Structure 1
């Protein structure tokens, strides 16, 4: 491997120094980051720790002004490809990463998230290799970034096509799909600010009926915070976009129907606070 030596470089990774890239890859893991120096190294190390080896990690940085790029340079011999440039938001970054992907399957790992254990990709691979399955999702554990204690467990239901209209979706960070399906059925719609992931999952699972399977365990750990947890204003905007996503894909919903999901969240928070996980909540 050749390391990046140009400190002014805005891109790097071992793919940047190879004329050819192997197409014999099982996974492309896409991470989008902006000013994420606090946790991005942990995210990179989480991918590196996976026992599944035919994996490339592609990192799309939105032009960070903190120490993020320095960390990406540090891992240029471990990360397949990274680039730092201004973009049109997180979903634009995800689309860039998918277009660069060479793996058979694509997963999204947020810049402050990490895998629950070292066999996550092996387990997902075993499911996706079944010819009857086009996508996989699982559960997420939320932790307090300071105490690292679990504050919530989001358990993805096994019948999401019946729940989209009620504001429930499979946990997007756990979602893996065939790269070919992204190219065939479309990427994330960048005119959504918060809920492009919701729209894409509706489109893949309900509109185009891609066969899916649920891995009934936690595979991603998320630190609390983020674009979809920004208070009342963010919640209102999120629900507006969910209504639009449903409408665009032929589903009826409204604010009242979506509001009922917040009672379910209380059921998730209470077991986490007492150290017990409700396996039936979503």
Structure 2
């Protein structure tokens, strides 16, 4: 097989109960377009044995301790051969034939192509880049295909735990990079996980924003506004169980 169009990277740690569905959702895509890497953090729950079952269909895999999810994602980037990179969580699944559906957009001069995700509570999240991106992250990681050139001189910040992708999304917005939204669901995603930690998300979002937005007062106003926004999300979850 020649150079793949997309390198799909799954970063995983102790996700045996969901990982096989994730793997199958990738291997069921057009195999001429996709290579698949699994970066495991040293799982002890049977995930390694599961990965070995599929290793002949993988571009490669590793299992070793890491410094967190973004350190593991950087390891995947270092190994990727595709023109585009896509990250899929170990408890998420690609929609059937989605790679073939977005192929036409990936052949154009975009830096990032993204769509929607559907959570297992029925909520559909639309990703976008716009003025609100200065306020908070507006692209779900599992909705986005990233052109490999983004990572020529860039890696995710491993000192962050849940919001490092906001850094690249905000940077792309400020640089007015060419992007494309496709109004289709890219992946099915599980609710919860690290990104649902709103306190940590608030801290990291504010930290990232300060790298790109000048002015202490402007950042303070945005920080307070985001704290209020998260407060109503907590209230909504308490009242209605709405987690997203």
Give the C-alpha shift of residue 52 in structure 1: 5.3
For this pair of structures, how many residues does the alignment match?
235
Alignment of 1:120 with 2:91, yes or no, is no
Alignment of 1:97-108 (within 5 A): 97-108=76-87
Alignment of 1:68-217 (within 5 A): 68-116=47-95, 118-131=96-109, 133-144=110-121, 150=122, 152-157=123-128, 160-184=129-153, 186-203=154-171, 205-217=172-184
1:174–1:68 distance in 2 versus 1, CA, 3 Å: same
1-structure distance, mates of 2:31, 2:54 = 19
- Alignment correspondent of 1:66: 45
1-structure distance, mates of 2:183, 2:229 = 21
Cα-Cα RMSD: 2.4
Alignment of 1:218 with 2:185, yes or no, is yes
Determine which structure has the larger helix proportion and give its number: 2
Q: Give per-residue Cα distances to partners, 1:53-85, cap 9 Å, x unaligned.
A: 221100000011110000011001111100000
Is the 8 Å Cα contact of residues 138 and 214 (structure 1) preserved in structure 2? yes
2-structure distance, mates of 1:199, 1:120 = 26
Give the C-alpha shift of residue 23 in structure 1: 5.3
Give the C-alpha shift of residue 264 in structure 1: 7.8
Give the C-alpha shift of residue 238 in structure 1: 0.9
Alignment of 1:38-53 (within 5 A): 38-51=17-30, 53=32
Name the TM-score, length of structure 1 as normaliser.
0.77
Is the 8 Å Cα contact of residues 95 and 187 (structure 1) preserved in structure 2? yes
Gaps of 5+ in 2: none
Q: Give per-residue Cα distances to partners, 1:204-254, cap 9 Å, x unaligned.
A: x1243321010112111111221111xxxx311211110111111226443
2-structure distance, mates of 1:103, 1:242 = 29
Alignment of 1:250 with 2:219, yes or no, is no
Q: Give per-residue Cα distances to partners, 1:170-197, cap 9 Å, x unaligned.
A: 111111111122113x011111111101
1-structure distance, mates of 2:80, 2:52 = 20
Alignment of 1:232-247 (within 5 A): 234-247=197-210
- Most deviating of 256-265 and 172-181: 256-265
1:52–1:130 distance in 2 versus 1, CA, 3 Å: farther
Alignment of 1:259-278 (within 5 A): 259=227, 261-262=229-230
2-structure distance, mates of 1:85, 1:61 = 6
Gaps of 5+ in 1: 1-21, 145-149, 273-281
2-structure distance, mates of 1:256, 1:195 = 18
